[in-house]
Copies of this chain bind each other. A is one copy, B any other.
């Protein structure tokens, strides 16, 4: 089994190569810089880490394909953050503790950086088609499905423009889809069972969305590196608003337990369960902490 450090090295170097290709001589320099700014330094890289950990647990016989899938998922995640922060959505002044892309580079370059990162994600994955065409085709389907219509993150974001959004559907598309893609893609890249592993990502995705909702209500902006209270401002569905803080916290714990229980028997089962529990500790609020000004790490 690969160590967390080994996985991290693979992720950063795959992302670095992709961004270098996009920004090579002849590219418009500001857009190249804005793209790099959106991807580095990263957050916890939770999705690609999950993807590669699952691939590793399934034997990882096509590591370059797994790397490409993990990088594609992270690039799409970064693209979605850039576009979600735009003035017409959250108008977020900060992200990952620094000015958001549109604050740093202006709105036109933020729109284009998001677009270019989406293209780069598919380009990165497509480069490995000939490594294993059948798996690559499946990976393309998984990754595109997790970000596009009808059930991917753009669909999740679009539910905010609908009058009758159902909390579960909204969250499943907005956050869950990319987590489900991460575990499923890791399995597919290594020839594992996609459906068994998909469930792990689905539960984790729900857990992260609930954690994000809790942080939006109780978190400390300085620690999170992004604004809080956004859901209330935009009258958006939020698990704390719907179930109360105690209810949302109970739900979060249950989802993490479900994710751990869903890890299928494999060489890396214990390692993966450990990794999930460790990462989930980063975003659970400390017990009996006050309902406002509470600090918690940004889950993504």
A1 close to B (CB within 8 Å) = no
Segment from A48-56, A81-89, A258-266 that makes contact with B: A81-89
Chain B residues whose C-beta falls within 8 Å of the C-beta of A165 in the assembled complex: 28
Chain B residues whose C-beta falls within 8 Å of the C-beta of A12 in the assembled complex: none
A35 close to B (CB within 8 Å) = yes
Give the CA-CA distance A213 to B25 in the complex, in Å: 27
A109 close to B (CB within 8 Å) = yes
A243 close to B (CB within 8 Å) = no
- On whether the beta carbons of B31 and A155 are closer than 8 Å, the reply is yes
Chain B residues whose C-beta falls within 8 Å of the C-beta of A150 in the assembled complex: 21-28, 32
Could you jot down 6 A-B contacts, CB within 8 Å?
A30-B158, A35-B149, A88-B108, A116-B149, A119-B148, A127-B141
- Beyond the given pairs A23-B150, A32-B150, 19 more chain A to chain B contacts, judged by CB atoms under 8 angstroms and listed by A's residue number, are A24-B150, A27-B149, A28-B150, A31-B158, A83-B112, A88-B107, A88-B108, A108-B157, A115-B115, A116-B149, A116-B154, A118-B119, A119-B147, A119-B148, A119-B149, A119-B152, A119-B154, A123-B140, A126-B126
